[in-house]
Structure 1
Amino acid sequence: MGDEPEAIELPRSDLLLLRLLAEGLSPDEVACRMGLSGRTVRRRVRGICDRLGVATPIQAVVWAVRQEMI
């Protein structure tokens, strides 16, 4: 993973979403905690992955941890 994205700003709500995924919650559990639908959470996760240039939610979580954002 040598081509990691440079410093990218993520909104607090996206960081919360990634933090909850990092804690092991499913997208539906994250949705319940954040008062969103499961579909909305999945769409937001896809958007985060696209912005970060990663393929999976796990890679997005790893990126955020390495950037010390979560």
Structure 2
Amino acid sequence: MADPALERSSLAARPQPASSLAASLAAELSREDLELLRLLARGLPLEAVARRLHTSERTVRRRIKGICERLGVSASIEAVVWAARRGLV
């Protein structure tokens, strides 16, 4: 007979499926959005992110604002954390 405490801990350690809302929000993020979030997650400044994406800093700021609006967060760090918690970055 298996130990119930061990079974509970093994179930708790198993990744939980994303909610349908989180899944639909994640689907709204393009490959480019995810790449931008990955670069931000690495701690790169906006100027470096813009260079890597071959665009302007202004465009990067605008894209971050759009990502934040879609995810319902108010700052880029919140968007990065949101994506990291879901294994997207």
Which deviates the most, 5-14 or 38-47?
5-14
Equivalent position to 2:48, from 26, 29, 36: 29
Query: Whole-Å Cα distance in 2 between the matches of residues 11 and 67 of structure 1?
Result: 15
Secondary structure, aligned partner of 1:64: helix
TM-align CA RMSD: 0.9
Percent identity between matched residues is 56
Of 79, 82, 88, 1:60 maps to 79
Q: Which runs of 5+ in 1 are unaligned?
A: none
Larger Rg: 2
Measured against aligned partners, the alpha-carbon deviations of 1:6-38 in whole angstroms (never above 9, x if no partner) come to 221110100000000000001111000110000
**TM-score relative to the length of structure 1:** 0.90
Taking CA–CA contacts closer than 8 Å with sequence separation of 6 or more, which of the two structures ends up with the larger relative contact order?
A: 1
Cα separation, 1, equivalents of 2:37 and 2:59: 14
Show structure 2 runs of 5+ residues with no match: 1-20
Offset at 1:56?
0.4
**Which residue of structure 2 lines up, in the alignment, with residue 6 of structure 1?**
22
